[in-house]
Amino acid sequence: MLLRDVTPDDADAYIRMRCDPVMMADLGGPLPRERQPDIVRRDVREAAAGTSWIKMILPDAASPGVVAGTVNLWSHDTDEGPLSEIGWMILPPFQGRGLAKRAARALLERARDEDRWGVVHAFPAVGNGASNGICRSLGFRLVAQQDVTFAGRVLRSNHWAIDPRTDLRPE
């Protein structure tokens, strides 16, 4: 597996992930296709500036054109102050191979090694067993169930938190 920064050429991968009803079932349904190129451009700017870690997951370094999904770590403001959040998506043909867990671990290890981001939060849908299992296996602690807003949609999620400096479980 290889992680690389998002590039403008990843618009098709964004469309395959974010505009597909199956992929987006736990996130309120597909997003508008026409918005994805603008989102990719924004993500490329943020990744280049280092304000967010937006990585494309390549299942095999020998096939750099094959994208399996994304893993992202970013910070945003909440009513309680800034919050660091991690999220991942894996396309159906690549699910069940451990790629999301390995990719999330890689970003959390980097966050730990660079002493950046502080406590990291994840908000998978309550019914997303795979993502909740990843959180549990990496050492996140379940904080609560709560409603979160994603793309203008309110979703019921599990709120997980981890301090990568102290809580990340060994492989």
pLDDT tens column, 63-101: 988 999 999 999 999 888 999 999 999 999 999 999 999
Please, how many CA atoms are within 13 Å of residue 7, restricted to the half-sphere of its CB?
A: 7
Higher-confidence residue of 136 and 32: namely 136
Please, how many CA atoms are within 13 Å of residue 92, restricted to the half-sphere of its CB?
A: 8
Whether 125 and 148 have beta carbons less than 8 Å apart is answered as no
**This prediction's pTM:** 0.94
How high is the pLDDT of residue 149? 87
Q: Is 20 exposed, middle or buried (0-12, 13-18, 19+ CB in 10 A)?
A: middle
